[in-house]
Amino acid sequence: MDVALTLANQVFIMFLIMLIGFCLYHFRFVGEKTADDMTTVLLYIVTPALILKTYQEEYSAEKAKNLLVALGVAALAMLLGIIVSFLARIKSDKKRADIEQFAACFPNNGFMGIPLVVSVAGTTGVFFSNTYLMMFQLAVWTFGVAILQKANGIKFTPKTVLKLFANPTVISVFVGLICYFARIRFPKPVTETCNYLSNMNTPLAMLVAGMLIARVDILKSFRRLRNYYIVFLRLIVFPCILIAVFRFLPASYEIKQYIMIVTACPTATNTILFAKKFNRDVETASHIFGLSTLLSIVTIPLILYLYSVVVS
């Protein structure tokens, strides 16, 4: 119950930061170009720095073994998330089907998940939970982009697939892993630079999300019943399926708990960012994001409490 209360408090703090971003845009303290520029910094600078920082730790055989276990658990969780996301296409119209599936599939594991794990388990939890961030980045830049680009009639070739991996976020995943297992440490100035940049992750992500939501009528998110179905898949159906699988999965309670926290998060901020990037339905993406973030204040603590009862 202590973990659930801690998480509830942290989620509420993040929502307050998002509200600040909403007000900044709504009252015209910042404009659309500012929000777009901050989005670029977030996706291409801050997130890669966060990934690189996490794996600049001293190597230990035991920790490396547990990291590989966590990587397997994270891969399984991501695969289950992709499978569940196809339920979002049931009775969906063509205009929204792709973005609804994206919203149901990908949780806000980096921008919200990491601070939540820190509040419960500190940097040790982040070290293992970031394995899901790796799976997330790989999946979002392949499966996720494929969903959105397919709707635009773009065909995939070996060249276009390779191009998807040639971005700073995915590259940082591989560089971080190589550095950890090869025991390569960055010079201190580089490490400190990554530290400063990664500390911007949560506040910058929530400010950007608030600004993007401010562009649409957020009250519509509460009036469209279809949004509740997508949010139900993301916040309840998928986490409950994962809990059932984790009940019988031979991995440590703590590692599964770290992955559980990040996968129980609301719809990813990337849903809005990518909807804009690939000219999809930004309004629907914003509505689902806002609604899921608000409701996650209640669902995340409940899911983690259920996990502690079922899996312990």
Per-domain residue ranges of the chain: 2-311
Our CA angle for 106, 260, 238, nearest 5°, is 50
CATH topology of domain 2-311: Na+/H+ antiporter like fold (1.20.1530)
Q: Write down the pLDDT at residue 171.
A: 84
Q: Write down the pLDDT at residue 274.
A: 86
Q: What is the pTM of this model?
A: 0.84
Q: How far apart are CA 94 and CA 85, in angstroms?
A: 15
Grouping H, G, I as helix, E, B as strand and the rest as coil, residue 249 is coil
With a cut of 70, which residues of the chain have pLDDT below it? 1-2, 150-165
| Whether 51 contacts 176, CB under 8 Å | yes
Q: Write down the pLDDT at residue 118.
A: 79
Nearest to 285 by CA among 127, 98, 149, 124: 98
Look up residue 134 and give its two tokens.
């790796």
State the residue for tokens 């992955």: 259
Q: Write down the pLDDT at residue 232.
A: 96
State the residue for tokens 């399984």: 76
Nearest to 27 by CA among 214, 159, 259, 234: 214
Q: Write down the pLDDT at residue 212.
A: 75
DSSP 74-135: HHHHHHHHHHHHGGGGTT--TTTHHHHHHHHH-B-IIIIIHHHHHHHHHHHHHHHHHHHHHH
Q: Write down the pLDDT at residue 162.
A: 66
pLDDT in tens, 242-256: 999 999 998 899 999
Q: Write down the pLDDT at residue 201.
A: 82
- 85: burial class by Cβ within 10 Å (0-12, 13-18, 19+)? buried
